[in-house]
């Protein structure tokens, strides 16, 4: 996967987002109903479509998460949430009337 993203697709931003790739791969594997010997080690024809879907979704979430981050610790503090909850409202169409209550 790494080699394909780096060398074939040439998307360095995605290549550097390892948590996105790992979560997308794990989610795609769960969609395959009949796992076989090497399915856990390779992207198969059965998992490819799901992998593409999950990579896009998780990367979009990752980008919004990164936009909300102030200190880069990969956690959203209450301050970061209050400063960035508008991203969730505009991009993800979540209804957040009270950011304090929602965070808690």
The pLDDT tens digits for 56-96 are: 999 999 999 989 998 888 899 999 999 999 999 998 899 99
Q: Please check whether residues 3 and 31 belong to one and the same domain.
A: yes
Q: Is residue 83 part of a domain?
A: yes
- Specify whether the CB–CB gap between 75 and 65 falls below 8 A: no
**C-beta of residue 2 within 8 angstroms of C-beta of residue 15:** yes
pLDDT of residue 85: 92
Predicted confidence (pLDDT) per residue in 15-67, tens digit: 888 899 999 999 998 888 665 666 567 788 888 899 999 999 999 999 999 89
Any domain includes 64: no
- Say yes or no: 24 and 53 in one domain: yes
**What pLDDT sits at residue 47?**
87
Contact 96, 88 (CB under 8 A): yes
Rounded Cα–Cα distance for residues 42 and 61 (Å): 24
* 3 and 54 part of one domain: yes
Q: Which domain holds residue 101?
A: 69-104
Do 99 and 51 belong to one domain?
no
Domain count, the chain: 2
Contact 20, 14 (CB under 8 A): yes
Nearest by Cα to 59 from 29, 22, 7, 93: 22
């Amino acid at each position: 996967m790494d080699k394909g993203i780096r060398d074939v697709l040439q998307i360095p931003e995605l290549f550097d987002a390892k948590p996105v790739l790992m979560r997308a791969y794990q989610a795609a594997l769960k969609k395959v109903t009949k796992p076989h010997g090497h399915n856990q080690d390779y992207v198969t024809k059965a998992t490819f479509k799901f992998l593409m879907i999950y990579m896009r979704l998780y990367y979009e979430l990752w980008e919004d998460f990164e936009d909300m981050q102030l200190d880069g610790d990969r956690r959203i503090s209450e301050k970061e949430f209050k400063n960035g909850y508008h991203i969730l409202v505009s991009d993800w169409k979540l209804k957040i009337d009270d950011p304090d209550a929602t965070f808690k």
